[in-house]
Amino acid sequence: MRISQRRGAAAVAATVAAGAILTACSSGGSEDGQTDAGSAAGGEDATCTNEILNADAPQVSVWAWYPAFESVVDLFNETHDDVQVCWTNAGQGADEYNKFSTTIEAGSGAPDVIMLESEILPTYTILDSLVDLSEYGAGELESQFTTGSWSDVSNGDSVYAVPVDGGPMGMLYRADIFDEYGVEPPTTWDEFAQAAQDLRDAGYDGYITNYPTNGNALNYALFAQNGWSPFEYDNANPAEIGIDVATPEAEEVLSYWNDLIESDLVATDDAFTSDYNTSLVDGTYAVYLAAAWGPGYLQGLSDADSGAEWKAAPLPQWDPANPVQVNWGGSTFAVTEQAADPELSYTVASELFGTMDAWELGIDEAALFPQWLEALESDFFVEKEYEFFGGQQINKDVFIEAANGYEGFSFSPFQVYAYDQQTQALYDMVESGGDAAGALQTIQDALVTYAQQQGFTVK
């Protein structure tokens, strides 16, 4: 009797507890949504990370994850009586985008101004969640920015964001390692492959560089350097898209890397993991194929090799007679459809990094690479000597030319999905020893199927 009672009680407890677990887990999703919306609404109301200096002025909420951004915000608020910026760091990259997507679905909770990488802009313009800034005169800004960055934020006469920083690519290399093994730093990709072999033959036990299968935008840039343009997409005609991923140009680049990987001359660690970070600075990789924000990233890493001597050089080229410059990353300020006062928000978006004072903070403290020509061409930036590179003027030597040579790139309106498919296909290729053509075809097929499922007409 006693036993059966206890059993009964336990069984009831079991069902109740099982129910509780179901409850806990199934409500998890919606709880997340609510927290996100809550914190976003906070952005509109009061909880700013920075201090509001002029409490009477209207406030514009901003989401951004720039390093040392607080000083830029403070500078803006000190110099503006008519508007104050209320800044929140809603996470970096995907973290912020996930929250932004949630606020779009919810119809409320988005900030007025949001920091977005240029590659993600089409993802949001197709959802009609960004304001066309040309209404507020953004078209006039065109001459103030680099050609490539302007092409990335505009579409015909429409302007969807104000460019801030960019990621023109260069090659950062360990001069001490190349010296020690008597190898010349490469200037073309042929020389690069040769250097990889020479370093190995001379007894260097690291890898010339790392080819991360999850290096989304990096891999795009490396393909683009050989003339790859996978997406044909125009905001004016949002239901149509051209997808051409598996091209001979891309195959050439991917086969090149695949060969180096199969000869064990290039590592394949995932990017942005702690393993990768350590390998970057402890001499495991001799070269870091980097964007202009790369030096800032390197300096922030610990466990660095004390004898390291870093130098910057232009990115190796496929055809040295016709050098092609590419871009990896870079961000913009966009005004969201939910902005209470789009015109005032546009003022904030265009003026936050619209002064030389702000850019001095951005360049010195956050290691940003300006797309605003006045800052880009200023002596302060051009002549800047970087202690980390032994006093080399890396902007003058490498990155300014790269930025000016960049012509823009057309991303898809489902870029996160495209990146995820690429990561998977490249990983499978490396893991199973597959070939480049197969991997690219897998991506192509997945994207076409997905686009059709989403209601696009695939050209």
Partner 1 sequence: MTTSSTAVDQTAGPAAAGARGGKLRRSSSTSTIDSKRQWWGWIFTTPFTIVFVLFLIVPLSYAFWMSLHNKGIATGGESVFVGIDNYVRAFTDPIFLDGLLLVARFVAVMVPIQIGVALLCALVLDTLATQLSKASRLLIFVPYAVPAVIGALMWGFLYSPRFGPAQDLFGLFGLAAPDFLSSSMIFTSLVNIVTWQWVGYYMIIIYAALRTIDPSVYEAARIDGANGAQIALRIKVPMVSSSMVMVVIFSLIGTLQFFTEPTVLRSVAQGAIPPDYTPNMYAYSLAFSYSQFNYASTIAFALGIFVFIGSYLFLYLTRKQSGLKS
> Closest separation between CB of residue 27 and partner 1, Å?
6
Contact (CB, 8 A) for 71 and 365: yes
CB nearer to partner 1: pick between 284 and 393: 284
CA separation for the pair 42, 374 (Å, rounded): 35
CB nearer to partner 1: pick between 18 and 340: 18
Residue 326: both structure tokens together: 């590419």
Return the residue of 187, 299, 424, 441 that touches partner 1, per CB under 8 A.
424
CA separation for the pair 364, 388 (Å, rounded): 13
> Closest separation between CB of residue 16 and partner 1, Å?
10
Phi, psi (5° rounding) for residue 258? -60, -40
> Which among 141-149, 202-210, 338-346, 425-433 is the span making contact with partner 1, rule CB under 8 A?
425-433
CA separation for the pair 307, 425 (Å, rounded): 38
> Closest separation between CB of residue 19 and partner 1, Å?
10
CA separation for the pair 348, 350 (Å, rounded): 6
* Tokens 């055809």 found at: 319
Phi, psi (5° rounding) for residue 329? 85, -160
Long-range contacts of 301-307 (CB under 8 A, 24+ apart): 301/277, 303/278, 305/281, 307/176
Binding mask 352-371 for partner 1 (x = CB under 8 A): --------------------
Return the residue of 189, 192, 333, 414 that touches partner 1, per CB under 8 A.
414
Q: Say whether residue 11 binds partner 1 (CB under 8 A).
A: yes
Residues 6+ apart with CB under 8 A from 37: 102, 103, 106, 108, 109
Give the number of residues in contact with partner 1, rule: CB under 8 A: 60
Contact (CB, 8 A) for 188 and 320: yes
**In what order do the strands lie in the sheet containing 240-243?**
231-233, 240-243, 457-458
Return the residue of 151, 209, 213, 371 that touches partner 1, per CB under 8 A.
213
Binding mask 280-309 for partner 1 (x = CB under 8 A): ------------------------------
CB nearer to partner 1: pick between 49 and 274: 274
Return the residue of 344, 426, 436, 439 that touches partner 1, per CB under 8 A.
426
Q: Say whether residue 98 binds partner 1 (CB under 8 A).
A: yes
Contact (CB, 8 A) for 177 and 233: no
Return the residue of 4, 143, 302, 322 that touches partner 1, per CB under 8 A.
4
**Dihedral, CA of residue 346, residue 352, residue 356 and residue 362, to nearest 10:** -140
* Tokens 């690519």 found at: 169
Return the residue of 41, 127, 356, 448 that touches partner 1, per CB under 8 A.
127
> Which among 40-48, 99-107, 168-176, 375-383 is the span making contact with partner 1, rule CB under 8 A?
99-107
Residues 6+ apart with CB under 8 A from 5: none
Return the residue of 209, 258, 279, 442 that touches partner 1, per CB under 8 A.
279
Binding footprint of partner 1 on the chain (CB under 8 A):
3-4, 6-8, 10-11, 13-15, 17-18, 21-23, 25-27, 29-31, 94, 97-98, 101-102, 104-105, 123, 126-128, 213-214, 238-239, 241, 270, 273-275, 278-279, 413-414, 416-417, 420, 423-424, 426-428, 430-431, 451, 453-456
